[in-house]
Amino acid sequence: MRGDDALLLDMLIDARKIQRFVAGMTFTDFQANEMAQSAVVREFQVIGEAARMISGTTQEACAEIDWRAIAGMRNRLIHEYFAVRLNIIWTTTQSDIAPLIAQLERYVPPDLGSIE
């Protein structure tokens, strides 16, 4: 089983990937790009799975991270894949990923955070 440090690093790396995948895109671009949609949804699933596996102790220590919302998004993407709403995915990429990256960077050592 992966430790919390590795899971936090996974989350950080995947959040940064989402930023790269949508960089320079508009929502219209995103709607028209199945590859970007698929990649972003996949990274959200990985982030959510890692968040779900983080220990309660680490979740308490990193209380500003909304663990429940992250895991909830993963659950919707996995179990309600047929009802994924692109506007919600897009809004999340635009409003929540940068703050999540900033939060995670506080807990991932700088030398590890540069691995990608």
Which residues are part of the catalytic machinery?
Answer: 74, 79
Full DSSP string of 25-62 = --HHHHHH-HHHHHHHHHHHHHHHHHHHHS-HHHHHHT
* CA–CA distances in Å: residue 6 to residues 11, 47, 63, 65: 9, 12, 18, 16
- Going by the DSSP 8-state scheme, the letter that residue 82 receives in this structure is G
